[in-house]
Amino acid sequence: MMEDIPEREARAFEDIEGETIFITQREGCFYAYQNLCPHLQTELEFLENKFLDSDQEFIECSTHGALFEVETGLCVSGPCQGESLNKVEIKVHSDGGIYLNNSL
């Protein structure tokens, strides 16, 4: 549900295949990505639901500090610069639910 993901925060979820994804909100828009850094294929967060940097401006990989744009998933700083997180297509419904496009 939309209210489970406050502005400038992120929450992890498991998809139907058991993969971890996370969803974050920026200015009323929601963005979802696989919880996998393109550099070392490790999970991004070291504490539960801590995907954003201390200023809550970028998605941050806790392993090596790479920073990714929230809106695009593009790495703008770190060893995987120029690479991107794997975007997960979601649909926000008028009932407040957020659904994976492949589970509609």
The answer to pTM > 0.85 is yes
> Distance (Å, rounded) from C-alpha 13 to C-alpha 35?
9
pLDDT of residue 102: 63
- State pLDDT tens for residues 37-49: 998 899 999 899 9
What domains are defined for the chain?
2-103 (2.102.10.10)
Cβ atoms within 10 Å, residue 38: 19
- The 10s digit of each residue's pLDDT in 8-33 is 999 999 988 889 999 999 999 999 99
The answer on pLDDT for 104 being more than 60 is no
- DSSP run (H or E) holding 30: strand 29-34
